[in-house]
Every structure is written in structure tokens, then in C-alpha cells.
């Protein structure tokens, strides 16, 4: 049997708002794969090569740290942070620098955690980042 990850569903208060945010972050269109009742919104399609993101309206608010999160590779960590903030997200203030790259922990407009990651080149040369942070090297193994 062959299994394939086709989507990730995120509980939220405003599916359209989060779909718009993630559509802009990923440069992937919001699609109409669910009824137009406002309870669901989807970025991408189940026919795409990469998993789609589906946002499902739920009555209860987010109350604890997210147990799973998305990592988005960006070309430049500073520009990635500015993009997130311009779209209504925010930086948590947490930054990790490893031999292979830099990571910022971000929040989408509803407070769901995700990371933006800038990988260094094959020689480990860091970009000209201006954000404050501490160097943590090497990355701990799990």
C-alpha cells in the first residue's frame, strides 16, 4: 500500500483570514474544495504535488503551544520576517542559529507557531542578518 500526505488541517476562528495569510506566504492559491459556508478554507489542492493546507473553523480558541508546526524555507531571514509581519503575523522573539542556518519562531495571525528557516550555503556562510539572537551550534540531536 502506498500512502501520501495530501493535506494538513489547522483549527482556527477565521478560516478565510488564515487561508489568505498562508496563500500569500506560500504563493499558492486559495481553492474552493469545500462548501462556501465559511467553515473551511483551503490553500492548494489535493491534486498538487505538495500537501494542501485546510483551515477549519472551531468554536474554542487556541490555548496551548502548538504540538506540531510548519517550517518554511525563506531566501533571507530578515525579508521573511518582514513578510510575515506585513501579512499580520508576528515574530515570537525566538531565534536559533545553527551551522546549517538560522530559524525564527513566528506566529500566524491567530497565534499558531511556525518557523521560517534560512539555510546557509554549502560552506556554512551566514547571511548578513541584522536580527538579534544567540548562536547555538551544533544543532542538538533528537
Show me where the domains of the chain are located: 1-59, 69-128
Is residue 7 within 8 Å of 19, Cβ to Cβ?
Answer: no
134 has a pLDDT exceeding 90: no
CA proximity to 76, closest of 33, 120, 40 = 120
1-59: CATH topology:
2,3-Dihydroxybiphenyl 1,2-Dioxygenase; domain 1 (3.10.180)
Q: In which band, very low, low, confident or very high, does the pLDDT at 1 lie, cut at 50, 70 and 90?
A: confident
CATH class label, 69-128: alpha beta
The pLDDT score that the predictor gives to residue 2 is 87
> Are the folds of 1-59 and 69-128 the same?
yes
89-111 residue pLDDT tens: 999 999 999 989 999 999 999 99
Q: Residue 40's CB: how many other CB atoms inside 10 A?
A: 18
What pTM, to 2 d.p., does this model score? Answer: 0.80
Amino acid at each position: 500500500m502506498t500512502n501520501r500526505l495530501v493535506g494538513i488541517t489547522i483549527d482556527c476562528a477565521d478560516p478565510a483570514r488564515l487561508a489568505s495569510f498562508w496563500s500569500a506566504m506560500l504563493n499558492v492559491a486559495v481553492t474552493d474544495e469545500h462548501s462556501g459556508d465559511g467553515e473551511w478554507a483551503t490553500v492548494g489542492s489535493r491534486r498538487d504535488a505538495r500537501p494542501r493546507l485546510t483551515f477549519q473553523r472551531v468554536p474554542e480558541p487556541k490555548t496551548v503551544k502548538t504540538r506540531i508546526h510548519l517550517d518554511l524555507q525563506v531566501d533571507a531571514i530578515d525579508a521573511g520576517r518582514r513578510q510575515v509581519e506585513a501579512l499580520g503575523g508576528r515574530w515570537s522573539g525566538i531565534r536559533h542559529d545553527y551551522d546549517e542556518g538560522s530559524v525564527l519562531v513566528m506566529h500566524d495571525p491567530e497565534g499558531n507557531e511556525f518557523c521560517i528557516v534560512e539555510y546557509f550555503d554549502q560552506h556554512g556562510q551566514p547571511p548578513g542578518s541584522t536580527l538579534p539572537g544567540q548562536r547555538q551550534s551544533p544543532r542538538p540531536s533528537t
